Chain A
Amino acid sequence: MSNRSTASVSSADLRNRQPRFRAMESGHRACLGCGQALAARLVTEAAGPDVVLANATGCLEIFTTPWPESAWRVPWMHSLFENTGAIAAGMEAALKARGKSTKVLAFGGDGGTFDIGFQALSGMLERGHNVLYVCYDNEAYMNTGIQRSSSTPHAAITTTSPSGKERMGKRHLKKDIISIIAAHHIPYAATASVAYPSDIRKKVRRALAIEGPTFLQIHAPCPLGWGHEGDQSIAVARLAVQTGLFPVIELERGRLTGAMPIRNVRPVADYLNAQQRFRHLSQDNERAEKEVAHLQALANHNIETYRLEGDTPDSMDSEGIDTVRRGGMRWA
């Protein structure tokens, strides 16, 4: 076994000569294979250096800024769980007053976006602040120990939605946040997945080019909370898209303007079986079968609603969009 890579290269020098912008530095304390760390890295890389960040309480805030260190190389501010939208709006207003064109990004998890910070976010959107709000959706309160949020999908186990005699994991459905955001009639709202980095970069650039409030929801697996190995994060995120459980779409002024077609729709069982949070659904009994059928129906509903099933193979569909080439020239 050979390792030709480390010979005579100073990694510190190399780190400073990377042919891409780095807003988030190594040494952060994210778990192995963290989907959110990857998503935040991709978003800030695409956003470029002239940004300021408002970051809600949550994993991202905790693991990037253990005092007295920070992983950020761009101005970054910790907001509370509930007021990220308000903080970002204030930053934007202040920069505007000083005549600066610096872009404001607001980061929150699904807890800080769907639940606790929702009213501040809604107000920011309603007032039309020029902010890109990015929601890293890992479908539970992972930072405090995997409690269910309104983003947790139906039937998933969390510490506050266990499976047992009475329930098969979470009783309620995942909140359809993108429709609620779109109902604010903002210029651009989109969903994306860490499995498709080019798509994330494209959507970040697109959002930042728009004057006004924009919103991006990124599906980001949590190996600890979802119960899969760290090396499976991309594979699991990809399955969420391929099954139709997580539709990758774009909405402008509330209208659907884009959807990533699924070339080969996979059964939801493929996605569920890859994660321990759905392990009770692989039991051989009627309750488990019913829940799998329910989740399959939800996926089918997404596929019908957003017309996700591609009719012919396309370079921008779920299989074509991640095609690699020698030289690394991805399309975004």
Chain B
Amino acid sequence: MPSLTLPRSGYALPGTSLHFKTGSWRVQKPLHHHRAAPCHTACPAGEDAQAYLAQMDEGHPEAAWKILAGVNPLPAVTGRVCHHPCETACNRGHYDEAVAIHHVERFLGDEAIRHGWRYPVSRPKRSAPQAAVIGAGPAGLSAAYHLIRLGYQAVLFDQLPEAGGILRTALPAYRLPRDILDAEIERLLGAGIHFHPQHKLGRDMSLDELRADYAAVFLAPGNQRSREWSIDGAVQRDLHVGLDLLQEWVAVGTVPHIRSAAIVGGGNTAVDLSRILKRAGVTDVHVVTHQALPGTDAAHDATMSAIPREITQATEEGVIFHPHRGIRRLILRGEKVVGIELVHMKKLSRENGESRTVAFEGTETVLHVDQVIPAIGQEIDPTGMESLLRQQAFLVVDAWGRIAGQSNVFGGGDARQHSTGTVSGAVGDGRRAAIAIDGLLRVQDAPANDNETPLPFDQINLHYYERASRQIAGTLPVGARQGCEEIEQGLSASQVSQEARRCFSCGNCLACDNCWTLCPDEAVLKTQELASDGSHYVFDYDYCKGCGLCAQECPCGFIVMEEEL
């Protein structure tokens, strides 16, 4: 600072106003305040898409992948199969169109496989405590990965010869190519997980043994048994169950020879099976569900749970959907189905707040089909866990996977109560359980729930963003959808960059220079470095008068004003 002299005539030395600290005028001060982006809070796996989009936008794909893979070890998988609630939540959706987050995720996952990027973890020490994980599906794989990331040894058991769980047994290759799945699982198992295939709980080891041998146990057995199904007690003799057929087709590529079929259910199993039957040459494939098609104004819980994109593609392929329909009666000749009687049904809410599905008399129709295939969901196979389940068909766990009354047994994935039945949800369960196990073994309190309110749309300053339409990926034409070739194509590297650029950067610094450019008092200083976390802008509180212009004009809600009296 130039020294302050008292000149005898009318001049002053340059920059001497620095002697006067205008910061003393201030009654409120600007602060950098990171808020969660809506994509972050909406992600069942816990990914912070804003953080990796920022790295992508800065041109660092590997750093972006490391942020992503620090939370979700299977991004190439989830980038393909997830229903991406992040995009539904994306603030940009209120402006033009949501950022194609799942395409960026998928791109980064594929790049990691192509370049052999390594997880941001080191191998656990041999002396580290061991945790057992039952089930090598997405929840178990995620838990094992996060246990290693936190420094523990993870021992993973699965009853099948290969890891992957539902990803391998029930997801058709046209949605999830096997080379992608194999590559991610191979990399994951290679990160230091001890994998024991063909080990079944209740047959090869008991829960008591696991409890005694390991510091902690995480149960992610999935749902292995199909729910009982009949129409008023009637069942055809040659009953096939949806998930079994799907698993058979995925494993050996065949389905029973039928001409027409009605599949009962509104989930992904029903839709996947309908498309497989179509591929196998079944002429008429119907899907019958109580629920509404997505995109209608029906309530969320009254809408089909299958991914809307998959329903659209199935319709393109010729599957006929019968929403709001139930089966009133099986039309049997002897013990074989020749048709079904459908009736209009709708979920109506009752005065006590519950809802009830009502069938409307006089709306019955007959559909001639050879076969009726229930795909109404699965439930847990209780073998080996009877003492935990107490006759219930699911594991009762809290937000961190803890089971009441059990000190070191945790649960998650599809087998838990209120499971979302999604891959990303299972990945999130595994991660949270690993964090809870870490808390248990370090004798720490469980971390606070990370349910932060995301940055609302009205805190985005839209003046600073330009409209830009979402990049569109190709899909395989309907005529070419015969076998296992992937239907949904990815985005190119330049398209992914454009998507990353479209991100509003909700609640985090966009490094746009607005605060630095617009401060009338030169009280926002900039370091030379570019950083995506806002740390390269510094408030000089000696001179900041607290006018709030920087907070008002911050495009992404990263600056807040705090009272200071």
Contact with A along B553-565 (1 / 0, CB 8 A): 1010000111000
- A315 on interface, CB distance cutoff 8 Å: yes
Residue from B537, B549, B561 with most neighbouring chain A CB atoms (10 Å)? B549
A316 to B: closest C-beta gap in Å: 11
Q: Is the CB of B6 within 8 A of A15?
A: no
Q: Is B7 located at the chain interface by the 8 A CB criterion?
A: yes
Asked whether A1 lies within 8 Å of B31 as measured between CB atoms, the reply is yes
Least CB distance from B507 to A in Å reads 12
Size of chain A's interface in residues, with CB distance under 8 A? Answer: 63
Q: Is B369 an interface residue (CB 8 A)?
A: no
Complex CA gap A73/B15 in Å reads 5
- Nearest B residue to A13, CB-CB: B525
A315 to B511, CA, bound (A): 20
Question: What string of 1s and 0s marks CB contacts (under 8 Å) between B1-37 and chain A?
Answer: 1001111001011111111111001000001111000
A2 surroundings in chain B (CB, below 8 A)? 31-34
Nearest-Cβ distance from residue B337 to partner chain A, whole angstroms: 59
Q: List residues 507-548 of chain B with CB under 8 A from any CB of chain A.
A: 510-514, 516-523, 525-528, 530, 532-535, 537-543, 545-548
B467 within 8 A of A: yes
CB of A185 closer than 8 Å to a CB of B: no
* Interface presence of B372 (CB below 8 A): no
Known: A197-B518, A319-B463, A324-B514. A235 touches B552 (CB 8 A): yes
- Looking across the interface, which residue of chain B has its beta carbon closest to that of A329? B513
Instruction: List, in ascending order, chain A residues with CB within 8 A of B21's CB.
Output: 27
A9: chain B residues within 8 A (beta carbon): 527, 538
Q: Which of B6, B12, B526 contacts A70 (CB 8 A)?
A: B12
* From B1, B466, B520, B561, residue with most partner A Cβ within 10 Å: B520
The smallest C-beta distance from A321 to any residue of chain B, in angstroms, reads 10
Contact of A38 among B465, B518, B552 (CB under 8 A): B518
In the assembled complex, the CB of A47 is this many whole angstroms from the nearest CB of chain B, namely: 16
Q: Are B31 and A3 in contact (CB under 8 A)?
A: yes
Residue contact A25 to B12, C-beta cutoff 8 Å: no
The verdict on B54 contacting chain A, using a C-beta distance below 8 Å, is: yes
B538 touches A70 (CB 8 A): no
Contacts of A24 in B (CB 8 A): 522
- Nearest CB on B from A223, distance (A): 8
Q: How far is the CA of A27 from the CA of B12 in the complex (A)?
A: 14
Task: Give the chain B neighbours of A69 by CB distance below 8 A.
Answer: 4, 12, 16-17, 19-20
B25: chain A residues at CB < 8 Å are 32
Q: Give A10-38 as 1s and 0s: 1 = Cβ < 8 Å from B's Cβ atoms.
A: 01101101110010111111101111011
Minimum CB–CB distance from B37 to chain A (whole Å) comes to 15
Q: Does B505 lie at the interface of the complex (its beta carbon under 8 Å from any beta carbon of A)?
A: yes
Residues 29-67 of chain A: 1 if any B CB is under 8 Å from the residue's CB, otherwise 0?
Answer: 110111101100110000000000000000000001111
Q: Check B549–A230 contact: CB distance below 8 A.
A: yes
**B512 touching A29 by the CB < 8 A rule?**
no
Q: Give me 13 other A-B pairs in contact (C-beta within 8 A), A27-B19, A326-B505 excluded.
A: A1-B31, A1-B560, A11-B542, A14-B526, A25-B17, A26-B17, A26-B522, A27-B16, A30-B520, A41-B520, A68-B4, A231-B549, A328-B511
A-B contact pairs, 17 of them (CB 8 A): A5-B32, A5-B537, A11-B542, A14-B540, A26-B17, A27-B21, A67-B10, A69-B19, A70-B16, A72-B14, A197-B517, A231-B547, A231-B549, A323-B465, A323-B466, A324-B513, A325-B501
Instruction: Using CB atoms and an 8 Å cutoff, list the residues of chain A in contact with chain B.
Output: 1-6, 9, 11-12, 14-15, 17-19, 22, 24-30, 32-35, 37-38, 41-42, 64-74, 78, 197, 229-235, 238, 313, 315, 319-320, 322-328, 330
